[in-house]
Amino acid sequence: MKIEVRCSPTADGYTCAVEVGDAGSVTRHTVQVSRSDMDRWAQGRSVDRLIRRSFEFLLEREPRESILRQFELSVIQRYFPDFDRVIKQPDPGDLPH
């Protein structure tokens, strides 16, 4: 499933437009990312990569149609307490070979 992320800076962080789906069907989401979210979860990643990883996390746990259309990134851990631990792990592609 394709995840497209476009983030724009705001006064207190970022607003990210996310499209999830394929040629037949796409869901659209808007995610607010605060500076404190970046400090807590980015682990050196760009905001785009953080959001992509966050959606990969969500899609492993629920269908894309169940993901809120608009939310703040910090809301995820309220629904999924393991988000904090999982999102801080290194990206699989970043591990040494």
Tens digit of each residue's pLDDT (9 = 90 or more) over 26-60 = 999 999 999 999 999 999 999 999 999 999 999 99
Alpha helices in 1-97 (DSSP H): 35-41, 47-59, 76-79, 83-87
pLDDT exceeds 70 at position 97: no
Helix (H) or strand (E) holding 5: strand 2-10
Helix (H) or strand (E) holding 25: strand 25-34
Residue 2 vs residue 93, higher pLDDT: 2
d(CA 59, CA 80) in angstroms, rounded, equals: 12
Q: Domain-by-domain residue ranges, the chain?
A: 2-87
Residue 94 vs residue 76, higher pLDDT: 76
Looking at residue 94, its pLDDT comes to 55
d(CA 36, CA 12) in angstroms, rounded, equals: 9
| Integer CA distances (angstroms), 12 to 7, 30, 58, in order | 13, 15, 24
